[in-house]
Amino acid sequence: MSHALAFNHARSASAGAPACCAAPATVIRPAIAYDDAIEAEVGPLAALLDTLPRTVRPGTRWLAINLLEGAVTPAQVVDAPAVAELAAAVTAAQARLAAAYGDDLPIAVADGRYQFAHQVAQQVVSGRTAAPTRSDRIDRVLTHPWLGLVLFAAIMYVTFNLVQAVASPYV
């Protein structure tokens, strides 16, 4: 079971666009690596989808995985003359995957997606924590369950006496 984080690179078609409006030269599309048995079925199915006249435009890999999962039907994906050919290929692939996974195929596909999400999170999240700031240290003292109450009472006492001392000549 290989869950390597793979990236497909595709060139953008904005060669004639002005520099200010040009799309980035490389678009990174992450590819989820599923179990070997699933990958063995996705490749040929995606290749078949490339040769058939499709009614929808998503990527062939995405369509192949959704066909294997049963999320879409061949009739929703290809034109009428090619439905039987695609349906036969999907049924055969699903039968081979059912022999390998039984009823656990959706779980295996979801596991591949979760593994991919975990790998992306590992790459983006740093493991180190930032040192506490001055504000954090002050908050830790002022919001302490016991010391915070004592400090609050002391500040209120000083404020009250200061107001009384300043206001006493005018009263």
The verdict on residue 1 lying in a domain is no
Q: Give yes or no: residues 94 and 162 share one domain.
A: no
pLDDT at 23: 56
CA distance 89 to 91: 6
Pair 143, 91 in one domain = no
Instruction: Choose the final residue of a domain: 124, 147, 162.
Output: 124
The answer to whether residues 82 and 138 belong to one domain is no
- Answer yes or no: is 144 within a domain: yes
CB 68 within 8 A of CB 45: yes
CATH number for the domain harbouring residue 76: 1.10.287
Residue type, position 60, single letter: T
The parent domain of residue 63 ranges over 6-124
Name the phi and psi angles at 145, rounded to 5.
-60, -40
Residue 133: the pLDDT is 93
Full pLDDT tens readout for the chain, 171 residues:
444 444 444 444 444 555 555 555 565 666 788 888 988 999 899 888 888 887 777 788 888 888 888 888 888 888 878 888 888 999 999 999 989 888 888 888 899 999 999 998 888 887 778 888 999 999 999 999 999 999 999 999 999 999 999 999 888
What is the number of domains present in the chain? 2
In a domain, 162, yes or no: yes
Q: Based on the domain organization, do 45 and 108 belong to the same domain?
A: yes
Rounded Cα distance between 65 and 58, Å, is 12
What is d(CA 59, CA 63) in angstroms, rounded to the nearest whole number? 6
Q: What is the 3-state secondary structure (H, E, C) of the chain?
A: CCCCCEEEEEECCCCCCCCCCCCCCEEEEEECCCCHHHHHHHHHHHHHHHHCCECCCCCHHHHHHHHHHCCCCHHHHECHHHHHHHHHHHHHHHHHHHHHHHHHHHHHHHHHHHHHHHHHHHHHCCCCCCCCCHHHHHHHHHCCCCHHHHHHHHHHHHHHHHHHHHHHHHC
User: Cα-flanking dihedrals φ and ψ of residue 143, to 5°?
Assistant: -105, 15
User: Do residue 116 and residue 163 come from a single domain?
Assistant: no
Q: 143 and 113: one domain?
A: no
